[in-house]
Amino acid sequence: MALNQETILSDDAFLVSETDAKGMIRFANKEFCNIAEYSLEELMGKNHNIVRHKDMPKAAFKDLWDTVKSGKVWQGYVKNGTKSGGFYWVFATKNEKNEQCYLSCRRKPSREDVLKYGDLYKTMQ
C-alpha cells in the first residue's frame, strides 16, 4: 500500500479492538489487523495510538476518553493510519466494558461524512 493511500472499508466491515484502562491493546479482530496492516502479535500490549493519524485533532481523543471514563458510550468519526503510511476512515463506537477495559467497534462511514469530518478536523486542534 502506497504512502497516503486510502483504504476504504467494505460495506459490511466490522473492526473490533479492546484495550485496558490505559488504552493498551488487549485484543483486535482479524479485520482490524488486516485493515491496519498489523498482526495481532504486533498490536498486543501496544498503546492504541499506534494507529493514530496525524490529521486527528487532540480534542477528539480528549472527548473520547472523558466520555468512556465517565461510563458513557462515545461515537465518532476517526481517521486512522495504517502501518505502511496509508489511512482509513471509520465510524467508531467505544464504550466501557468494565472498569478494566474498553471496547471499540468500527463500521464504514458514508463518503459524505468522511468529507464533512475531514474538513471539520482541519479546523480543530
Residues at the contact surface with ligand FMN, assessed by CB under 6 A: 17, 19, 23, 48-49, 51-52, 56, 61, 64, 68, 78, 80, 94, 102-104
Q: Rounded to a whole number, what is the largest CA-CA distance in the chain?
A: 39
DSSP string over 71-84: T--EEEEEEEE-TT
Question: Which residue, 19 or 82, is less far from ligand FMN as judged by CB?
Answer: 19
Scan for cell 467508531, then name that residue: 92
Please name the residues in contact with 101: beta carbons below 8 A apart, sequence gap of 6 or more: 18, 19, 20, 21, 26
CA dihedral 71, 45, 11, 62 (to 10 degrees): 40
Question: Which residue, 9 or 78, is less far from ligand FMN as judged by CB?
Answer: 78
- For residue 61, the minimal CB distance to ligand FMN (Å) is 4
- For residue 62, the minimal CB distance to ligand FMN (Å) is 8
Question: Which residue, 34 or 61, is less far from ligand FMN as judged by CB?
Answer: 61
- For residue 120, the minimal CB distance to ligand FMN (Å) is 16
